[in-house]
Amino acid sequence: MPALWIAHVSVTDAEAYGKYAELAGPAIAAHGGHFIARGGRFVQLEGKERPRNVVARFPSVEAAVECYNSDAYQAALNHARGASERELMVVEIDE
């Protein structure tokens, strides 16, 4: 079943986070992921507001987790650590 990778992010170092974004996109695509929302307009109804929200669709939960654990994504993530506060989850889509 398909899955969504959902990230809520507050960027604290735009330059470093830009490098993360540059590297993360190809890593996500290599695992069958594609973005369906990136930093667009949102309305926070509950919980902590993060100004950047990203949603990518993957073929499965397993593909999304493999992406996260891949060398390419971990190399990208090194640029996000210390440059952002973030939450990331993978949710299976009930289709």
DSSP 31: T
Helix (H, G, I), strand (E, B) or coil at 30: helix
CA pair distance 57, 23, nearest whole angstrom: 17
pLDDT tier at 90, thresholds 50, 70, 90:
very high
Find the distance separating the first CA and the last CA of the chain, reported in whole Å: 8
The per-residue pLDDT for range 27-83, each reduced to its tens digit, is 999 999 999 999 889 999 999 999 999 999 999 999 999 999 999 999 999 999 999
Task: Note if the pTM is more than 0.85.
Answer: yes
Contact yes or no for 32/56 (Cβ under 8 A): no
The per-residue pLDDT for range 2-36, each reduced to its tens digit, is 999 999 999 999 999 999 999 999 999 999 999 99
Q: Which of 66, 68, 62 is nearest to 7 (CA)?
A: 68
Contact yes or no for 69/27 (Cβ under 8 A): no
Q: Which domains, and CATH codes, for the chain?
A: 3-92 (3.30.70.100)
